[in-house]
């Protein structure tokens, strides 16, 4: 079987998409799955982006090294304390004891890794940073470490969003110290277990958006085993690539697809990443927007209908009661590449609303219900429409 472009997905180069509609399939998964599969089989197509998001494979990326965390050997007196700290009432003292034998050595003031659009300018500034590094206290402090007292040392990396990460290093203490000294102002490789952390949070930093090819599609199979829904991703030649253990990941793909197709601002942000004009950072799904809608704080889609549909104020109250339920929120965080090198962290918020929340107004305000239903898109996770779209930013 050949890999095909999914139904309803345009072949326009680099048009962002996530998952296609499902279709019934006669594919016999038993022949390749080595599992007892029963019931109907549904086949979807997923994009390279979707495959990255739900893959269980570790992801390698690069972060700027800004220092290190030194773990010193605990002296004999400290070892005795740690023995007693096994008792419950000593837990706080254990934490204090551990902190007493670690030290963060950081590059101050920080030399930001340049990320102008001009690569030649970036390289020139990196060389200047390297020449300035010898005047920074960190070089002296790290070089002067007493190796005999160091138990472990890890590099500290910092992303473009200002978040810091510990980077595990290989080799002896000497090897690690030399690596840190040679990596300051540069980028070091780090590995995360997979793109999905937990509770709806995905790390997008490891996905190479600029290489996204809209025409590449991978089969995603929905099947049943022991009356439980199962999903697996197949290779282009229809062999099992991996099983998806968490079904909620597939729900996220469907919701992300609906958000992209209905929220122009989200689509615009993703296309900036595809064009290399922005760096993606995080994708987050949650079930409730932090602010409640009210008669004085209506989303734009309903404010427009107040005038076009001549909604009576008494009807508005009934409508607002439905808006704060059955929500699904998609947060996409990214950093545009600025000409000036001064970065802003943007977050696009798509508030998706399940149409079933509108059932109470179906008979009370039928014209409003009818107009909203026209805006919905359907998928395996429900019939949603874009209730609201917002974008905020902060300097980083």
Following DSSP, what letter does each residue of 73-110 receive, concatenated? PPPHHHHHHHHHTTSGGGHHHHHHHHHHTEEEEE-SS-
Instruction: For 148, list phi and psi in degrees, rounded to 5.
Output: -70, -20
Arithmetic mean of pLDDT, 100-117: 71
Contact 122, 116 (CB under 8 A): yes
Please tell me the least confidently modeled range out of 122-126, 342-346, 347-351: 122-126
The predicted model gives 231-248 an average pLDDT of 91
Indicate if the pLDDT at residue 76 is higher than 70.
no
**DSSP helix/strand/coil, 269:** helix
pLDDT (mean) for 135-162? 86
Count CA atoms within 13 Å of residue 126 on its CB side: 16
Of 266 and 340, the structure prediction assigns the larger pLDDT to 266
What's residue 7's pLDDT?
39
Tell me the C-alpha distance between 303 and 298, whole Å: 6
257-296 core/surface letters (b: 16 or more CB in 10 A; e: else): bbbbbbbebbbebbbbbbeeebbbbbbbbeeebeeebeee
Nearest to 218 by CA among 395, 47, 52: 47
**Beta strand pairing status for 228-234 and 218-225?**
antiparallel
pLDDT above 70: residue 132? no
Query: Binning pLDDT at 50, 70 and 90, where does residue 391 land?
Result: very high
User: 310, 316 in Cβ contact below 8 A?
Assistant: no
- pLDDT recorded at residue 373: 93
Rounded-to-integer distance, Cα 289 and Cα 353, Å = 11
Lowest-confidence segment of 264-268, 289-293, 314-318 by average pLDDT: 314-318
pLDDT of 10: 40
- For 276, what's the count of Cα atoms within 13 Å in the CB-facing half-sphere? 7
Closest alpha carbon to 388 in 357, 348, 361:
348
Query: Rounded to whole angstroms, how far apart are CA atoms 269 and 274?
Result: 9
Question: Is there a cis peptide before residue 109, judged by omega within 30 degrees of 0?
Answer: yes
Q: Do residues 200 and 286 make contact, with C-beta atoms less than 8 angstroms apart?
A: yes
Q: Would you call 244 helix, strand, or coil by DSSP?
A: strand
Out of 111-115, 126-130, 315-319, 348-352, least confident range = 111-115
What does 202-229 look like in DSSP terms, one character per residue?
A: EE-TT--GGG--TT--EEEEEEEETTEE
Pairing mode, strands 240-244 and 278-286: unpaired
The strand ranges marked E within 6-161 are 23-25, 38-46, 59-72, 102-106, 150-158
Classified as helix, coil or strand, 274 is helix
């Amino acid at each position: 079987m050949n890999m095909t472009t999914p139904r309803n997905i345009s072949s326009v180069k680099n048009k962002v998409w996530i998952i296609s509609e499902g279709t019934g399939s006669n594919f016999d998964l038993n022949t390749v799955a080595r599992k007892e599969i029963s019931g109907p089989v549904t086949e979807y197509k997923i994009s390279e982006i979707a495959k990255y998001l739900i893959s269980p494979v570790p992801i390698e990326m690069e972060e700027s090294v800004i220092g290190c965390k030194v773990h010193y050997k605990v002296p004999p007196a400290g070892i005795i304390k740690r023995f007693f700290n096994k008792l419950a009432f000593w837990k706080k003292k254990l934490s204090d004891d551990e902190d007493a034998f670690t030290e963060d050595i950081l590059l101050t003031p920080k030399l930001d890794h340049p990320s102008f659009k001009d690569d030649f300018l970036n390289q020139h500034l990196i060389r200047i940073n390297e020449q300035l590094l010898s005047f920074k206290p960190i070089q002296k402090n790290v070089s002067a470490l007493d190796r005999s007292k160091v138990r472990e040392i890890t590099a500290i990396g910092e992303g473009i969003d200002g978040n810091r990460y510990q980077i595990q290093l290989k080799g002896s203490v000497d090897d690690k110290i030399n690596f840190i000294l040679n990596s300051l102002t540069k980028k070091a490789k780090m590995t995360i277990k997979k793109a999905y952390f937990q509770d709806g949070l995905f790390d997008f930093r490891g996905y190479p958006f600029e290489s996204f090819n809209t025409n590449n599609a991978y089969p995603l199979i929905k099947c049943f085993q022991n009356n439980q829904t199962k999903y697996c991703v197949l290779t282009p030649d229809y062999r099992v690539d991996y099983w998806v253990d968490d079904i909620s990941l597939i729900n996220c793909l469907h919701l992300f697809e609906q958000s992209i197709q209905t929220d122009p601002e989200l689509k615009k942000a993703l296309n900036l990443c595809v064009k290399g004009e922005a760096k993606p950072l995080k994708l987050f799904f949650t079930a409730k927007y932090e602010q409640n809608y009210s008669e004085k704080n209506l989303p734009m889609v309903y404010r427009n209908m107040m005038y076009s549909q001549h909604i009576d104020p008494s009807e508005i109250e009934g409508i607002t009661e439905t808006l704060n339920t059955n929500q699904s929120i998609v947060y996409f965080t990214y950093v545009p590449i600025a000409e000036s090198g001064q970065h802003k962290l943007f977050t696009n918020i798509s508030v998706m609303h399940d149409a079933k929340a509108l059932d109470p107004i179906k008979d009370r305000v039928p014209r409003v219900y009818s107009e909203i239903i026209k805006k919905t898109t359907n998928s395996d996770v429900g019939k949603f429409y874009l209730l609201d779209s917002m974008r905020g930013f902060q300097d980083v």
